[in-house]
Amino acid sequence: MTMQSPVPDNRDNFDQIYKLLQGEYPNAEPMLHFNNPLELLVATILSAQCTDKQVNKVTQVLFKKYQSVEDFANADLTELGKDIYTTGFYHQKAKHIIGSAQLILTEFGGRVPDNMEDLLKLPGVGRKTANIVLARGYDIIEGIAVDTHVTRLSQKLGFTKNNDPKKIEVDLMTLAEKKDLENLSMTLILHGRNVCIARRPKCGECVVSELCPSSEV
């Protein structure tokens, strides 16, 4: 069994790589559908281990049934679980949604928090979810949402040697301007979904293959 060679440091090429990827995805917009920070929070919780397409199918019905933070706070756990069943891990997600809504009512005056510290107090909310809610719900860039795609591509492109999402976030924040962090996250996610696919990367179709230390071309 051969040991896989470590990916060399490629941070010097970050600006050029990011520029090329921006050209490929000029409209790197979020896929989740929402109308306010509460809906965004719920949708993001549901998106864990689930496609945005499936989440949008579920929330199209869900947000008609539960229209306020009070509706979610008072929801029956079993019933809400059935409502979100097709997103997977439905019991845990239902607990997180109800618990978050109850805390928003009791601690935050019925309003989804607009700062990292308070968002992280909500059940099931980590830095990734908090960054998404801040950026897309309040237009506040605090950091970068690091999901599995962002983790994998950051490593393959040689932008980080870390595995911990918090450390990867710090590494990326040293490379990109703060105003670009939300766009960078979505751009890497889209490239991970469309080209740099985990099990079968399409290196021959990749616009940054010549600059990628992991390219198989």
* Phi, psi dihedral angles at 65 (to 5 degrees): -85, -40
**Which residue in 52, 147, 171, 180 is the catalytic one?**
147
147 is catalytic: yes
For residue 196, say whether it is annotated as part of any ligand binding site.
Answer: yes
For residue 203, say whether it is annotated as part of any ligand binding site.
Answer: yes
**Which residue in 83, 93, 128, 156 is the catalytic one?**
128
For residue 212, say whether it is annotated as part of any ligand binding site.
Answer: yes
For residue 50, say whether it is annotated as part of any ligand binding site.
Answer: no
Give the residue among 102, 105, 144, 138 at the shortest CA–CA distance from 123. 102
128 is catalytic: yes
Which active-site residues does the annotation give? Answer: 128, 147
Annotation: binding site for [4Fe-4S] cluster: 196, 203, 206, 212
